[in-house]
Amino acid sequence: MREAKFSHDFLGDSEFRGYTRDEDCNGFACPYFGYDQAMLLLQAWLEHGLAANYDENTDEFVFEVSGGEAGNEFQRFGAIYSDGMKLYPIGVFDWIWKEVENSGLESHTELAKVARLFQTPAEELLKIEPSEWQDTFSDIHGEDLRLLSNSLINLSVLAARMSAYIDARGGEGGKDKGHVEAVQQQNERGEKIRAVLGFQHPKADIDFTKVVDLITHNQIIDLQSL
């Protein structure tokens, strides 16, 4: 992906920062936009008289386009992931986009910042000092932060599951409970950690037939007791 700025005749002099794979459609550019720039594009679309909205349920940007005699139609653009970035291919291979020449983009944009974070192993993220968290994680879309959070939770889950397995094989009390029991205990430990830390999409290795009452109305689980 290469960073660039793009314009559309319908939107006048407005320019939008995005990325390109250097694709083209009949000589026109094919841009991909981050969430914030897509929202600016949405607002500009509204200001020029056509409807547009962001559908939170499907994570899609929806734009009204002229449909001729059949009336107006709507096009939807869902997110893709490329080079560690979440991007929206709005109008790719369809709209008449133009790449702005000599746009003078800054080298450290939001998308580049997100890309660097996604390329950083979770183990390295843990080494970021708390005093640097504000600068590191500000101005990043919440869904991207959720993905980073999940990667850190996964690291905690892996450590907890291995610990549970080792304990069941004799690390705690010296009694080997066997592989089957150890796997069951590691899955239960992983389930608890994911639930307490708020992992959004639990993995398939968890057996949810055994429901664990982790948090009651007036109780907070102490992680050290898991």
Q: 155 and 213 share a domain?
A: yes
Query: What was the pLDDT predicted at 61?
Result: 92
Q: Which residue has the higher pLDDT, 61 or 217?
A: 61
Does residue 224 surpass a pLDDT of 70? no
**CA distances for 73 relative to 51, 57, 76, 116, angstroms:** 10, 20, 10, 38
pLDDT-based confidence at residue 68 (cuts at 50, 70, 90): low
114 part of a folded domain: no
Of 52-56, 117-121, 173-177, give the range with the top mean pLDDT.
52-56
Q: 98 and 178 share a domain?
A: no
56 part of a folded domain: yes
Among 73, 106, 139, identify where a domain stops.
Answer: 106
**Cα 55 to Cα 69: distance, rounded to the nearest angstrom:** 27
**Cα 215 to Cα 218: distance, rounded to the nearest angstrom:** 8
Identify any residues that bridge with 5 across adjacent strands, giving them in sequence order.
Answer: 17
Q: 82 and 131 share a domain?
A: no
Task: Determine phi and psi for 61, rounding to 5 degrees.
Answer: -95, 135
Does residue 105 surpass a pLDDT of 60? no
**Cα 223 to Cα 226: distance, rounded to the nearest angstrom:** 5
Q: 31 and 102 share a domain?
A: yes
Among 53, 83, 106, identify where a domain stops.
Answer: 106
Query: What was the pLDDT predicted at 104?
Result: 52
pLDDT digits (tens, 9 = 90+) for 69-87: 555 788 899 999 988 888 9
Domain limits for position 192: 120-225
**Cα 189 to Cα 164: distance, rounded to the nearest angstrom:** 7
Q: 178 and 216 share a domain?
A: yes
Average pLDDT value for the chain = 77
The pTM assigned to this predicted structure is 0.45
The CA R_g of the chain, rounded to the nearest whole Å, is: 24
Dihedral-angle region of residue 217 (phi above 0 means left; psi in -120 to 50 means alpha; beta otherwise): alpha
Does residue 169 surpass a pLDDT of 70? yes
Q: 71 and 142 share a domain?
A: no
Q: 102 and 127 share a domain?
A: no
Query: What was the pLDDT predicted at 112?
Result: 65
40 within 8 A of 47, measured Cβ to Cβ: no
204 part of a folded domain: yes
Query: What was the pLDDT predicted at 22?
Result: 86
Among 106, 132, 153, identify where a domain stops.
Answer: 106
Q: 161 and 84 share a domain?
A: no
Q: 57 and 126 share a domain?
A: no
pLDDT digits (tens, 9 = 90+) for 17-64: 899 888 888 888 999 999 988 998 898 888 888 888 999 899 999 998
Query: What was the pLDDT predicted at 69?
Result: 57
Query: What was the pLDDT predicted at 32?
Result: 93
**Cα 150 to Cα 225: distance, rounded to the nearest angstrom:** 22
Q: 124 and 102 share a domain?
A: no
Q: 190 and 147 share a domain?
A: yes
185 within 8 A of 165, measured Cβ to Cβ: yes
Among 27-31, 198-202, 217-221, name the one with the lowest average pLDDT: 217-221
27 part of a folded domain: yes
Q: How many CA atoms lie within 13 A of 209 on its CB side?
A: 2
